[in-house]
C-alpha cells in the first residue's frame, strides 16, 4: 500500500514539477503503469509477478487505446481532473514504451524484495 501511495504521489509531482527533456513527457506515464502494478498486487496478493506485470500492462494499454474513442460521455469524463489523470487525454504510442518501463520497474522491485507491494 505504501508503494502505491508513494508512486501516485511521485506521478502527481512529475506533472506539477516535470523533469527535464524527454523525462518530462514520460515519467508520469511510467509511474502510472507502476501504480497499476501495485494496485493489482494489492488486489491479487498471491499472484505471480509475471501475471501482475501482464495485468498492469494490459490495463494501461486498454486505457491508452480508449483515448482513440471520442464518445461524448467519455470526453466529458476526460475533461475532469480525475478523468484526465486516470484516463489520459490523447493516444500516443510512445506511452506504451513508458508503460512497459514502469511495469518492469515495479516487477523488478517486487522480485528483489518479495512482498514489497504489501508494505
Residue-range definition of the domain harbouring residue 16: 2-63+93-118
Indicate the pLDDT class of residue 100, thresholds 50, 70 and 90: very high
What is d(CA 82, CA 116) in angstroms, rounded to the nearest whole number? Answer: 27
Q: Over 90: is that where the pLDDT of 62 sits?
A: yes
Return the CA Rg of the chain: 14
- Looking at the domain assignment, is residue 8 inside a domain? yes
- Looking at the domain assignment, is residue 82 inside a domain? no
| Domains identified in the chain, total number | 1
- Looking at the domain assignment, is residue 81 inside a domain? no
What percent of the chain is modeled with pLDDT above 70? 96
- Looking at the domain assignment, is residue 111 inside a domain? yes
Residue 23 confidence (pLDDT): 87
- Looking at the domain assignment, is residue 73 inside a domain? no
Q: Over 90: is that where the pLDDT of 115 sits?
A: no
Residue 63 confidence (pLDDT): 97
Q: What is the mean pLDDT of the chain?
A: 92
- Looking at the domain assignment, is residue 14 inside a domain? yes
What is the tens place of the pLDDT at every residue in 3-56? 999 999 999 999 888 888 888 889 999 999 999 999 999 999 889 999 999 999
CA 65 vs CA 75, 88, 96: distances in Å: 14, 10, 10
- Looking at the domain assignment, is residue 86 inside a domain? no
- Looking at the domain assignment, is residue 85 inside a domain? no
Amino acid at each position: 500500500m505504501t508503494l502505491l501511495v508513494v508512486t501516485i504521489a511521485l506521478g502527481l509531482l512529475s506533472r506539477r514539477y516535470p523533469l527535464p527533456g524527454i523525462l518530462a513527457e514520460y515519467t508520469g506515464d511510467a509511474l502510472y503503469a507502476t501504480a497499476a502494478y501495485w494496485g493489482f498486487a494489492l488486489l491479487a496478493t498471491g499472484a505471480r509477478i509475471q501475471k501482475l506485470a501482464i495485468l498492469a500492462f494490459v490495463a494501461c494499454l486498454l486505457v491508452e487505446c480508449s483515448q482513440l474513442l471520442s464518445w461524448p460521455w467519455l470526453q466529458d469524463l476526460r475533461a475532469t481532473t480525475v478523468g484526465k489523470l486516470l484516463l489520459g487525454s490523447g493516444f500516443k504510442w510512445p506511452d506504451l514504451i513508458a508503460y512497459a518501463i514502469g511495469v518492469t520497474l515495479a516487477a523488478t522491485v517486487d522480485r528483489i524484495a518479495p512482498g514489497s507491494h504489501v508494505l
